[in-house]
Amino acid sequence: MSIYSSLSVDGPLVVISEFYPCGVNYDEYIVLWNRGSEEVILSYWTLSDGEGVLLFTTLVHILAGDEVHISSNYDSYFDAFGVPPEITVQGWNTNDLVTVSGSFRLADIGDSLVLRSPEGGVVDSVCYGDSGIPEGWFGSPMPALRQGEVAKRVLMGGIPVDSDVSTDWMSFREYRYGYTEHNTISDKIPAGGITSFASPDCSLEVVLEAVQSAKTTIRVCAYELYSAPFCEALACISKSGVDVRILVDLNPAGGICDEEIDCLSFLSTSGCSVLGIHGNLDDDIVRHIGPLHPKYMVIDEVSILVMSENFVPDGIPEDPVHGNRGWGVWIESGLLAGCLAHVFDDDARRSRDDVIAWTSTEWFDSDAGAFEPPRPVYLSGALRPYRSTQACTVRLHVSPDASIQSPFLVPLLESSRRIMFEQFQSDINWNTRWSSEATTNPLLTAIIDALRNGGQSRGILDSSWFNLDRNNATVAGLSCIAVSEDLDGSFLLMDERSPITILHNKGLILDDRTTVISSNNWVYSSFARNRELAAIVDSEEMASYFADAFHMDWFPDDIPPIAIAGPDIDAREGDVVTLDASESSDDRAIVLIWWDFNGDGLADSYGPRIDYAVTAPGEHLVTVHVVDTWGNDASDTMIVRVSGSGVALTAPIMTPCARPPTWILPLALIPVILVLRRLSIRKLNLGKGGS
């Protein structure tokens, strides 16, 4: 036991709070923390690894509650963390502050550290991997660390835990060289300060409006980015003088596609700053985070846009009916924007070894051309953007920083009585960094606990083939417990008849008041390793908006549209008449309107309003067919009475909707195309929590 272990925290209790033994550039470092209430002068204190000793001089001291970072490589430490270490012992060689004897260097496979007072007593010790047990340590060593991994002591109440056992060091969160520690930030948002939106219904509309609102600077953080209209909008504002900064992940699951290569190259040649997070230990590069997985923008440091969807065609689709299901919010807050800008700038800091300019990569194509402008569509989604009318509170949780000992969502779920969620990817069991055996997903455990306390839960998970095994196991596991214990929980996979391509959402609605808009998949790495972002909005009206979106996915649409062909028309030979079915409606959204003039059941024209020149006298029966997003069909008829001589209705005069838009397909092909869209997804996430 340490000689100070019996003292209260008010005593001069110094501990080894952090160390980095498996560096790639001879850049080990160690941190000492003064847990006491008085300054500690480390005169003649020693730190030993069993083969070498660091002897501190009178110039080294630690203020009460403060820590001292001791690095063997000043440049590497400064580049990784953006601040200098308090003490540098370059190459673990003697200098004015520290005298080094023996061969001091931490072994990758295992070693020990012992901190001693001037009298020789053990103040603190730690061991890991294949190491002997040093004096003052109890039980087995902590597991060996991986290359690039930092060992950091668990904190309790902001103070390092010191019981001299391995669990003192086993945080849920994983730490890597150059890690960050961003706090959770909240702000009170006034009425009108939040716009909520859903994909595919209206996400592109809101995203483009946010881009076009930028006056000075816009930061875009993306896992994937190759939406043509989005790229065109960024290039346009860049050419107008806006400082456009983009940070993307250069190692997405499945690799970078050709469309993204063209997009990022085009943006680079258009004046945008495009940086990427990359890293390969074989090249001696340590990524300071796992996958860069958030999807957000910071506009002029006055507003932020946070969503679950990538900046790709299915994430922010031009077609407001077919695409991925996702949620998003555009929030006006200088405080949140400033904090999120700091997160972006820290991740994108050029001194980091894992940050590289796109123009320096092998993929950069200086000849990449501009994109075609978005094609017009007349369809509208079932959901429109909604602007808040009441004040509310928003909190931002940055992962993995927000999940030190457990996923930040766990206490929210445990305290809720009513839970609705949509989730792209969920593992029923997690293999955490320090566990030798799989443990139950703590988010699912929290949901079951809430149900056992009398709560209610409804959940939908993605049914894409590449998620089917893991998500089906989650649905089956939750459902089995709910049924066997008579709990009020219902869970299902996304209905494959839905027009939604992929349920890519990671959203929650808690107690009809709190909405979570997040990039966090329910897998271990998403909370412990990846860079993610969640906006938690405390607002009943915002929760109501997203509850409507949830219910559209929860309840299949078996209700056909109401087709209204319009009133009968009297015309003379040669007149131009307008057939108007614009009064037709649906409980969700209409995807197709087509007209049959001769009763053969085939489409003769498309669109809600059609102009015709008529030349055939007599009564002509016209049928309009209206199709909704789930393929439900309804029809209505009207009569065109034509006086005069002639033989037939002519082809329609060309109007904007007289021919089928290029994206409209024959009705019989709609179900087939929806299946093919699911099977043609370019990027598959096979366990990294990266989509």
Cα–Cα distance list, 413 to 392, 405, 409, 445, 447 (Å) = 20, 16, 6, 9, 6
For 665, the enclosing helix (H) or strand (E) is none
Tokens encoding 507: 């959203």
Alpha carbon distance 351, 527 (integer Å): 26
Q: Please enumerate in sequence order all residues whose Cβ is within 8 A of that of 74, keeping only pairs 6 or more positions apart, or say none.
A: 84, 85, 88, 90
Express each pLDDT in 314-328 by its tens digit. 999 998 988 999 999
**Domain end (from 138, 169, 200):** 169
Query: Computed from CA positions of residues 675, 260, 689, 210, in that sequence, does the dihedral angle turn out positive or negative?
Result: negative
630: left (phi over 0), alpha (psi -120 to 50) or beta: alpha
Q: Is residue 679 part of a domain?
A: no
List, in sequence order, the alpha helices (H) in 503-573: 524-528, 540-554
Q: Is residue 176 part of a domain?
A: no
Express each pLDDT in 505-523 by its tens digit. 999 999 999 999 999 999 9
What is the pLDDT averaged over residues 190-217? 97
The total of structural domains in the chain comes to: 3
Question: Within this chain, do residues 96 and 209 fall inside the same structural domain, yes or no?
Answer: no
Question: Within this chain, do residues 510 and 595 fall inside the same structural domain, yes or no?
Answer: no
| Single-letter code of the amino acid located at 687 | G
Express each pLDDT in 472-490 by its tens digit. 999 999 999 999 999 999 9
What is the pLDDT averaged over residues 253-268? 94
User: What pLDDT was estimated at residue 377?
Assistant: 53
User: What pLDDT was estimated at residue 95?
Assistant: 94
Question: Within this chain, do residues 534 and 467 fall inside the same structural domain, yes or no?
Answer: yes
Query: Is the peptide bond preceding residue 200 cis, with omega within 30 degrees of 0?
Result: yes
Residue 457 has pLDDT above 60, yes or no: yes
User: What pLDDT was estimated at residue 13?
Assistant: 85
**Domain end (from 169, 193, 213):** 169
Do residues 396 and 185 make contact, with C-beta atoms less than 8 angstroms apart?
yes
User: What pLDDT was estimated at residue 125?
Assistant: 95
Question: Within this chain, do residues 482 and 577 fall inside the same structural domain, yes or no?
Answer: no
User: What pLDDT was estimated at residue 283?
Assistant: 87
User: What pLDDT was estimated at residue 97?
Assistant: 94
Residue 644 has pLDDT above 70, yes or no: yes
Residue 344 has pLDDT above 90, yes or no: yes
Instruction: Check which CATH number belongs to the domain holding 145 and give it.
Output: 2.60.40.1260
Banded pLDDT at 381 (limits 50, 70, 90): confident
Q: Which residue has the higher pLDDT, 415 or 643?
A: 415
What is the pLDDT averaged over residues 409-421? 97
Question: Within this chain, do residues 583 and 441 fall inside the same structural domain, yes or no?
Answer: no
Q: What is the pTM of this model?
A: 0.89
Structural domain containing residue 74:
14-169
Query: Is the peptide bond preceding residue 400 cis, with omega within 30 degrees of 0?
Result: yes
Say which DSSP state 24 is in: S
Do residues 610 and 622 make contact, with C-beta atoms less than 8 angstroms apart?
no
Q: Is residue 504 part of a domain?
A: yes
Q: Is residue 682 part of a domain?
A: no
Question: Within this chain, do residues 105 and 192 fall inside the same structural domain, yes or no?
Answer: no
> DSSP states of 155-198 as a string?
EETTEE--SSSGGGG--SS--BTT---PPPEEEEE-TT-EEEEE
Say which DSSP state 202 is in: T
Banded pLDDT at 195 (limits 50, 70, 90): very high
Q: Is residue 284 part of a domain?
A: yes
604 SS3 class: coil
Alpha carbon distance 451, 107 (integer Å): 48
> 3-state SS of 34-80?
ECCCCCEECCCCEEECCCEEEEECCCCEECCCCEEEEECCHHHHHHH
Burial of 436 (0-12, 13-18, 19+ CB in 10 A): exposed
Alpha carbon distance 600, 610 (integer Å): 19
Instruction: Check which CATH number belongs to the domain holding 612 and give it.
Output: 2.60.40.10
Question: Within this chain, do residues 337 and 264 fall inside the same structural domain, yes or no?
Answer: yes
Above pLDDT 90, what percent of the chain? 78
Q: Is residue 70 part of a domain?
A: yes
Say which DSSP state 347 is in: H
Question: Within this chain, do residues 225 and 301 fall inside the same structural domain, yes or no?
Answer: yes
Residue 422 has pLDDT above 80, yes or no: yes
Banded pLDDT at 234 (limits 50, 70, 90): very high
Residue 263 has pLDDT above 90, yes or no: yes
Question: Within this chain, do residues 214 and 163 fall inside the same structural domain, yes or no?
Answer: no
421 SS3 class: strand
Q: Is residue 459 part of a domain?
A: yes
Query: Which among 391, 291, 293, 303 is positioned nearest to 340, based on CA atoms?
Result: 303
Alpha carbon distance 231, 311 (integer Å): 9
Q: Taking the CB of residue 101, how many other CB atoms lie within 10 A of it?
A: 12
Q: Is residue 541 part of a domain?
A: yes
User: What pLDDT was estimated at residue 6?
Assistant: 37
Residue 206 has pLDDT above 90, yes or no: yes
Instruction: Check which CATH number belongs to the domain holding 274 and give it.
Output: 3.30.870.10
Residue 267 has pLDDT above 50, yes or no: yes
User: What pLDDT was estimated at residue 76?
Assistant: 96
Burial of 314 (0-12, 13-18, 19+ CB in 10 A): buried
Burial of 181 (0-12, 13-18, 19+ CB in 10 A): exposed
User: What pLDDT was estimated at residue 193?
Assistant: 98
Question: Within this chain, do residues 194 and 114 fall inside the same structural domain, yes or no?
Answer: no
Question: Within this chain, do residues 385 and 418 fall inside the same structural domain, yes or no?
Answer: yes
Do strands 633-643 and 605-606 pair parallel, antiparallel, or not at all (unpaired)?
Answer: unpaired
- Which residue has 């709190």 as its token pair? 514
Express each pLDDT in 133-165 by its tens digit. 999 999 999 999 999 999 999 998 888 999 999
Express each pLDDT in 520-572 by its tens digit. 999 999 999 999 999 999 999 999 999 999 999 999 999 999 999 999 999 88
Do residues 475 and 462 make contact, with C-beta atoms less than 8 angstroms apart?
no
Q: Which residue has the higher pLDDT, 476 or 612?
A: 476
**Domain end (from 169, 194, 215):** 169
- What is the average pLDDT score of the chain? 90
Do residues 391 and 159 make contact, with C-beta atoms less than 8 angstroms apart?
no
Residue 96 has pLDDT above 60, yes or no: yes
What is the pLDDT averaged over residues 328-336? 98
User: What pLDDT was estimated at residue 652?
Assistant: 59
User: What pLDDT was estimated at residue 615?
Assistant: 75
What is the pLDDT averaged over residues 401-411? 96
Question: Within this chain, do residues 243 and 341 fall inside the same structural domain, yes or no?
Answer: yes
Residue 380 has pLDDT above 70, yes or no: yes
